[in-house]
Amino acid sequence: MMTGGAEQMDAQSRAGRRLLSERVAYLRDRLMPARPLHILDVGANPINVPDYDPLLDLGGCEVWGFEPDDEAFAALGADQRPGTHYINKAVGTPGAANFYPHPQSGLGSLYPIQRESVAFLGHRGWYRDDITPIPVEVVALDDLDDLPPPDMLKIDVQGAELDVIRHGREKLSQAVCVVPEVRFYRIYEGEPLWGKLDVELHQQGFVLHKLMFSKAAMIENSKAGRLKGKSVRSQLIDGDAVYIRNPETPDDWSDEQWKQLAIASGAVFDSFDLTIHCLDRLEERGVIGPEVADGFLDCLPEWMKK
């Protein structure tokens, strides 16, 4: 039997899902995109539910997911849904490399964990000296000729995000958004931090839009046993960011790009002001009428509106 709090949360979840379904149906019906949103998910390990999951359930996107960890890849295949394609390959700087698996599946990486870093963060157990690296052949995004150009890149590869993006310039040349995990404090040996990733994305024509969330850890200290770990976490570690193609040059965009960004922002990373901005640009071009933005506003929760 559900408690009152659980029932309330379940009701809120159902209401949120209903509003999302309405938004997706509305945008697709009014915009009539040429195809579902094409999402490339590099590091598709299913330990976390991706933000595009509800859109996938509604048939609004098609996903190509890469996962080099055999166990995680098997889990993806065991629950494969319509509109998904999974590839058991590592993506990044092309050539021979080592993949460092980990008992905690989400910590597997092409970079080894740095002992001193995780000790400082109070996670000494993350470092394991019994891990045997697995030789892998890494492929570059730009060398995957059969992979359609994505509208959106989601990437979570524990330190190798810059490698993926740097070797995917051609493949990402028409993408409208990139959602990378960004590292603020190094936990893998030699991994690039957020600054270098930000520079590369700007060079490819993207600008930082927002942070979806950030994670922090309690620094190792002598009184850790007397502190509430959920309340005392001061060292920023990482988070998920959203980059969008530079919106200040709208004439460089195709109608389809504005449509796909409207769907991504309205149904994946919930930037509704950006969605309406996309609709405004399409209205200026005569692609849609002025009533479309008003109709989208009606699909938003009441608490967001005046």
- pLDDT at site 48: 86
Residue 12 lies in a domain: no
Query: What distance lies between CA 183 and its chain's CA centroid?
Result: 14
Residue 176 lies in a domain: yes
- pLDDT at site 213: 92
Is 80 exceeded by the pLDDT of residue 275? yes
Q: Are 277 and 247 in contact (CB under 8 A)?
A: yes
Between CA 50 and CA 257 the distance in angstroms is: 22
**Mean pLDDT over each residue of the chain, to the nearest integer:** 92
Amino acid at 112: P
Residue 293 lies in a domain: no
Residue 278 lies in a domain: no
Residue 241 lies in a domain: yes
Is 90 exceeded by the pLDDT of residue 114? yes
CATH, residue 181: 3.40.50
Q: What percent of the chain has pLDDT over 90?
A: 80
Neighbour count for residue 264 (Cβ, 10 Å): 29
Which uninterrupted H or E stretch holds 84? strand 84-87
pLDDT in tens, 155-166: 999 999 999 999
Domain count, the chain: 1
pTM, two decimal places: 0.92
Q: Which domain holds residue 201?
A: 33-222+230-249
Residue 288 lies in a domain: no
- pLDDT at site 4: 59
Between CA 138 and CA 290 the distance in angstroms is: 48
Q: Which two tokens stand for residue 81?
A: 């849904």
N- to C-terminal Cα distance for the chain? Answer: 38
Is 70 exceeded by the pLDDT of residue 56? yes
Q: What percent of the chain has pLDDT over 70?
A: 95
- pLDDT at site 109: 92
pLDDT in tens, 183-206: 999 999 999 999 999 999 999 999
Residue 306 lies in a domain: no
Residue 27 lies in a domain: no
pLDDT band at 104 (very low <50, low <70, confident <90, very high): confident
